[in-house]
Amino acid sequence: MSPPVDPQILTTVQAHADEHRQIRKLLEVLRAVDDGDALATLLDVLDAVMHEHFAHEEQEQGVFAAIRASGPAGAARIDGFVAEHKVFLAGLEEVRARLAVEAGEALDLARAMGDQLAAHEAAENAAVQAALRPQD
């Protein structure tokens, strides 16, 4: 029988899920944005939210700690997630740079990044669920 789950990690997981819901709502807005000014504003919001969210995930008592503790496969997944975080943050800067030159290209790039971020968030959710699943 598995040991009981620490109540603190359940609170952390709930906060993580709330942040993912916020990010999904922002990605819905991103899909609807159709001009450069609106995209610039949304990029500022996404940048702040993503920095804060990634910091929460990666902190010592963050949700990634539970995944890492689930074993070597969990630890490897976390390394991949952290690497993707860096790619997403760099991607925001790339979209900003494109926006200064061509709004249409920036919108396309931002939407593609949004799709990748949505897939990333889904993979994180699956990893959290797997880490918290009782082991027989």
What are the pLDDT digits (tens) for 120-133? 999 999 999 888 88
Helix axes 72-99, 36-58, angle to 10 degrees: 160
Higher pLDDT, 2 or 61: 61
Tell me what pLDDT residue 134 has: 67
Residue 2 within any structural domain of the chain: no
Q: For residue range 49-99, what is the model confidence (pLDDT) as tens digits?
A: 999 999 999 998 889 988 888 888 888 999 999 999 999 999 999 999 999
Say if residue 13's pLDDT is above 70.
yes
pTM score: 0.88
Residue 49 within any structural domain of the chain: yes
E-strand stretches of the chain: none
Closest CA to 120 of 92, 86, 81: 81
Residue 45 within any structural domain of the chain: yes
Q: How many domains does the chain have?
A: 1
Residue 1 within any structural domain of the chain: no
Boundaries of domain holding 44: 7-132
Span between the terminal Cα atoms of the chain, in Å: 6
Give the CATH number, domain containing residue 95.
1.20.120
